[in-house]
């Protein structure tokens, strides 16, 4: 069994326990659904009937048609109910149904209308089998034709269409199983695991699946074995171990048809699993900046003088309405630490609003090189108007290509009639001396739309977040756009693959001040995740379809509070580990943990004056600001902090000492946390007594510099302070 061909680079920790859902809509009990003790809100879910008290909106579907279908089923009008369900699924209905989370975490969950209908239909198999048979009679023939054509052509996209549209057909389970095998063959283990888990009926088998196929004829133990190996190769070791334990308990005397092998006895299955697990553990990558295996390497130190020092543009905080009134988090007294540097092929790259810079990390001599300069620089006029937030200048480098959001850093403008776009995206080919990629720069035709922040580049596609402003720029709508890069035509812009609209909300400036927001787009597994304006949206990366949306309280949203103290997080953060999604929005004091597949809020933790999420270890999430925190991945509880003491509030009195300044970094097993005068280097893992273990302290004061945003690669440490960039070698 050639399983050792499949390897991934992330190590995963604990399995998420099996979760159950019970939904109730106008008296109809839904059975056999997995979903963390949720219950459908029975109010009529129309656009204006769900109250949002914190300035946000989401498009809600009319629940009336679902209630009508339920009424037909209860009256045993099964033909009419089945026909209405088919029409509903085939319609162009948009919007979401609200689901109430019984865990009291205050994060309301919303599911797309058609996905919610699939949950309804799953209940018919048990509660109203005659209605379920009638529904299948209407869809089976068309589903069978589509499946056979997709199977013959080995067309994964067509198979996905069968699974999405005809999940409840007689052929739906076979389509899902075949698609899972295709995903596994191509190394998309997480997608394969998700499909196989949806085919397993046994509620005691450790899976996390929102929707399960109600009555598959496929062998359950073979599905479980396939799911187990998919979890293993997706580096979800804990879940894989739980699945093996379940198979040993229930199928120890069985033979399995799994991954191309026939009649495999459990003893042999166990041996293969053990061998592959050892290989997976021993070959896990050491270059993942978020979670890396413990090594014997010592932390990077900076000795003597820097290799070079380079000036960077300083951004004054004086235009902030809270300037000199309240101390900001991880910033200087009068300047913001705005620059983050990336390294590629022996050079450092960074940007500001109008230029992209390059400098060798190895040479003492030489100056910065401007590899891109905006064409509209002379048309940009500095403004003295107040603004909420400060820019975060960042570039993304992948596959030898550099992308950045350029132009005016503001994303909304107070009572300003905008006649043209002030932001745009650039794409440069670093392997060709920084030449522009075909079709770049990319701008927006609508003058009310601005790019939000640095885009995400993955597998030849660019994912960008857009903000469209309304009502004198007091309200903004968010869109996620996927662009496919143009291969050759320099005159045409990249082709739009999809554009998805998310929720809207009041801007932080609320037409009283300009706003600079920095919401990033993230990709985890095959999902795109965005957290902004009081919503967390999870989208399918292939087609942009919304999987789920969860809202969270915008805790610092009130205008009076906004001008009393500025948001400590100038940039949103999202991380993922073992199917757990960690979210730190810019408009909330809380760190949230969601289930990536289902959208269920697992926990939330309030951490005042925290500015950055540095990454995670096997057991902890590391968050920094005025202090450095270790949060338990399982519970969100703060297990340790440095310096010791209670989490401080917003006032500028009694702040901890030492206090963070700039964004730290996790490298190997070490976390580097900068303060004004020193960089503290801790082991990223806590001791048995849950105490931070300090390895060394790097003195900055003697080098006549302060803390800043850190970057470590190939033995080089880059420190971007308020106005200078330092490069140190070991």
Question: What distance lies between CA 409 and its chain's CA centroid?
Answer: 23
Distance CA 353, CA 454 (A): 12
Number of domains in the chain: 2
Q: End of a domain among 597, 618, 646? A: 597
**Confidence bin at 609 (pLDDT 50/70/90):** confident
Per-residue pLDDT reduced to its tens digit, 110-152 = 989 888 888 888 888 888 999 999 999 999 999 999 999 999 9
Say if residue 135 is in the same domain as residue 258: yes
Say if residue 424 is in the same domain as residue 556: yes
Instruction: Count other Cβ atoms within 10 Å, centred on residue 260.
Output: 11
The pLDDT assigned to 567 comes to: 65
**pTM of the full structure:** 0.86
Does some domain include residue 224? yes
Q: Locate 595 and state its tokens.
A: 């289930």
> Is the Cβ–Cβ distance between 450 and 466 less than 8 Å?
yes
Does some domain include residue 494? yes
Mean pLDDT of 274-292: 61
Distance CA 540, CA 538 (A): 7
Say if residue 262 is in the same domain as residue 402: no
Mean pLDDT of 43-47: 33
Does some domain include residue 143? yes
Specify the 3-state DSSP secondary structure of 134: helix
Is residue 720 scored above 90 in pLDDT? yes
Mean pLDDT of 66-83: 91
What sign has the CA pseudo-torsion 584, 585, 591, 596?
negative
Q: Locate 529 and state its tokens.
A: 């995740």
Q: End of a domain among 282, 307, 332? A: 282
Distance CA 387, CA 420 (A): 20
In whole numbers, what is the pLDDT of the chain averaged over residues? Answer: 82
Q: Which helix (H) or strand (E) holds 22?
A: none
Mean pLDDT of 589-608: 91
Does some domain include residue 480? yes
Q: Locate 428 and state its tokens.
A: 């440069």
The pLDDT assigned to 379 comes to: 57
Does some domain include residue 218? yes
Least confident of 318-332, 465-479, 519-533, 539-553: 318-332
The pLDDT assigned to 31 comes to: 30
> Is the Cβ–Cβ distance between 19 and 33 less than 8 Å?
no
Mean pLDDT of 700-708: 92
Least confident of 108-122, 379-393, 697-711: 379-393
Distance CA 706, CA 677 (A): 6
Mean pLDDT of 525-540: 93
Does some domain include residue 260? yes
| CA-CA-CA-CA dihedral for 608, 610, 611, 614, to nearest 10 | -150
Q: CB neighbours of 124 closer than 8 A, spacing ≥ 6?
A: 73, 131, 132, 135
Q: End of a domain among 243, 262, 282? A: 282
Is residue 17 scored above 50 in pLDDT? no
Domain extent for 261: 3-282
Instruction: Count other Cβ atoms within 10 Å, centred on residue 660.
Output: 26
Is residue 251 scored above 60 in pLDDT? yes
Mean pLDDT of 416-440: 84
**Highest mean pLDDT: which of 10-14, 219-223, 690-694?**
219-223
With b for 16 or more beta-carbon neighbours within 10 A and e for fewer, the 633-656 pattern comes to: beebebebbbeeeebbebeeeeeb
Question: 130: closest CA among 70, 82, 69?
Answer: 82
With b for 16 or more beta-carbon neighbours within 10 A and e for fewer, the 202-225 pattern comes to: eeebbbbbbbbbbebebebbbbbb
Question: What distance lies between CA 474 and its chain's CA centroid?
Answer: 26
> Is the Cβ–Cβ distance between 469 and 412 less than 8 Å?
yes
DSSP of 36-77: TTEEE--S---TTSS--TTSEE--B--THHHHHHHHHHHTT-
Per-residue pLDDT reduced to its tens digit, 297-337 = 678 888 888 989 999 999 888 888 777 777 788 988 889 99
Mean pLDDT of 447-460: 91
Is residue 100 scored above 80 in pLDDT? no
The pLDDT assigned to 16 comes to: 25
Top-confidence residue, 676 or 89 = 676
The pLDDT assigned to 42 comes to: 32
DSSP H helices in 154-236: 156-165, 172-185, 189-198, 220-233
Q: Which helix (H) or strand (E) holds 343?
A: strand 342-344
Q: pLDDT > 70: what percent of the chain?
A: 84
DSSP of 493-540: PPEEEEEEEEEEEE-SSTTTSEE---PPPEEETTEEEEEETTEEEEEE
Distance CA 375, CA 724 (A): 25
> Sheet holding 724-729: strands in order across?
308-311, 724-729, 716-720, 709-713
Question: What distance lies between CA 558 and its chain's CA centroid?
Answer: 26
The pLDDT assigned to 287 comes to: 37
CATH classification at residue 547 = 2.40.128.630
What sign has the CA pseudo-torsion 642, 648, 653, 654?
negative
> Is the Cβ–Cβ distance between 624 and 632 less than 8 Å?
no
Identify the burial level of 729 via C-beta atoms within 10 angstroms of its C-beta, where 0-12 means exposed, 13-18 middle and 19 or more buried: middle
Is residue 49 scored above 70 in pLDDT? no
The pLDDT assigned to 33 comes to: 32
Is residue 570 scored above 80 in pLDDT? yes
| Residue in this structure with the two tokens 């949720």, named with its chain if needed | 38
Per-residue pLDDT reduced to its tens digit, 331-387 = 888 899 999 999 998 899 999 999 999 999 877 777 889 999 987 665 555 667 788
**Confidence bin at 211 (pLDDT 50/70/90):** confident
Does some domain include residue 629? no
Mean pLDDT of 532-544: 93
Does some domain include residue 698? no
């Amino acid at each position: 069994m050639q399983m050792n061909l499949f390897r991934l680079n992330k190590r995963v920790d604990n399995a998420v326990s099996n979760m159950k859902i019970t939904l109730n809509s106008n008296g109809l009990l839904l059975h056999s659904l997995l979903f963390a003790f949720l219950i459908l809100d029975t109010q009529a879910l129309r656009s204006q009937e769900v109250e949002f008290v914190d300035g946000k909106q989401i498009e809600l579907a009319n629940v009336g048609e679902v209630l009508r279908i339920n009424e037909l089923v209860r009256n045993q009008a099964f033909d009419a109910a089945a026909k209405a369900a088919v029409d509903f699924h085939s319609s162009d209905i948009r919007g979401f149904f609200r689901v109430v989370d019984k865990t009291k975490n205050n994060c309301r969950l919303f599911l797309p209308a058609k996905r919610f209908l699939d949950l309804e239909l799953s209940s018919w198999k048990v509660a109203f089998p005659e209605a379920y048979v009638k529904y299948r009679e209407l869809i089976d023939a068309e589903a069978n034709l589509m499946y056979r054509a997709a199977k013959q052509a080995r067309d994964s996209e067509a198979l996905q269409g069968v699974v999405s549209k005809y999940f409840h057909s007689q052929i739906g389970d076979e389509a899902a199983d075949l698609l899972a095998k295709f995903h596994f063959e191509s190394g998309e283990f997480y997608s394969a695991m998700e499909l196989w888990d949806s085919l397993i009926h046994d509620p005691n088998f450790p899976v996390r699946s929102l929707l399960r196929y109600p009555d598959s004829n496929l062998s359950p133990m073979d599905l479980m074995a396939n799911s187990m190996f998919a979890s293993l190769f997706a580096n979800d070791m804990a879940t894989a171990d739980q699945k093996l334990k379940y198979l040993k308990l229930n199928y120890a005397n069985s033979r399995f048809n799994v991954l191309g092998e026939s009649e495999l006895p459990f003893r042999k299955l166990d041996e293969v699993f053990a061998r592959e697990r050892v290989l997976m553990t021993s070959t896990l990558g050491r270059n993942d900046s978020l979670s890396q295996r413990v090594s014997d390497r010592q932390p990077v130190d900076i000795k003597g003088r820097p290799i070079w020092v380079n000036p960077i543009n300083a951004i004054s905080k004086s235009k902030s309405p809270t300037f000199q009134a309240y101390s900001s988090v991880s910033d200087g007294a009068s300047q913001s630490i705005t620059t983050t540097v990336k390294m590629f092929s022996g050079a450092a790259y960074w940007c500001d609003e109008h230029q992209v810079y390059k400098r060798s990390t190895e040479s003492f001599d030489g100056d910065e090189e401007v590899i891109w300069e905006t064409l509209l620089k002379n048309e940009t006029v500095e403004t003295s108007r107040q603004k909420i937030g400060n820019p975060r200048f960042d570039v993304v480098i992948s596959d030898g290509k550099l992308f950045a959001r350029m132009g005016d850093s503001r994303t909304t403008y107070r009572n300003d009639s905008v006649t043209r776009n002030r932001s745009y995206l650039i794409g440069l080919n670093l392997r060709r001396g920084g030449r522009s990629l075909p079709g770049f720069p990319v701008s927006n035709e609508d003058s009310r739309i601005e790019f939000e922040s640095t885009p995400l580049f993955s597998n030849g596609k660019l994912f960008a977040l857009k903000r469209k402003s309304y009502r004198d720029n007091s309200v903004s709508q968010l869109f996620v756009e996927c662009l496919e890069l143009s291969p050759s035509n320099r005159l045409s812009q990249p082709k739009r693959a999809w554009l998805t609209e998310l929720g809207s909300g009041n801007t932080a400036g609320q037409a009283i001040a300009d706003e600079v927001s920095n919401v990033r787009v993230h990709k985890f597994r095959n999902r795109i995740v965005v957290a902004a304006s009081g919503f967390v949206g999870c989208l399918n990366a292939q087609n942009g379809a919304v999987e789920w949306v969860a809202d969270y309280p915008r805790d610092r949203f009130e205008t009076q509070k906004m001008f009393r103290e500025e948001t400590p997080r100038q940039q949103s953060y999202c991380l993922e580990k073992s199917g757990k999604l960690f979210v730190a929005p810019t408009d909330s004091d809380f760190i949230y943990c969601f289930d990536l597949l289902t959208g269920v809020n697992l926990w939330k933790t309030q951490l005042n004056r925290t500015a950055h999420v540095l990454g995670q270890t096997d057991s902890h999430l590391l968050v920094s600001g005025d202090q450095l925190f270790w949060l338990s991945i399982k519970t969100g509880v703060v297990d340790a902090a440095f310096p010791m003491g209670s989490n401080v509030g917003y006032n500028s009195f009694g702040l901890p000492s030492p206090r963070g300044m700039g964004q730290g970094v996790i490298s190997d097993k070490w976390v580097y946390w900068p303060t004004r005068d020193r960089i503290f280097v801790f082991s990223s893992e806590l001791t048995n007594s849950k105490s931070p273990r300090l390895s060394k302290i790097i003195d900055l004061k003697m080098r006549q510099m302060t803390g800043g945003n850190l970057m470590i690669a190939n033995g080089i440490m880059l420190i971007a302070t308020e106005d200078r960039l330092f490069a140190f070698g070991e």
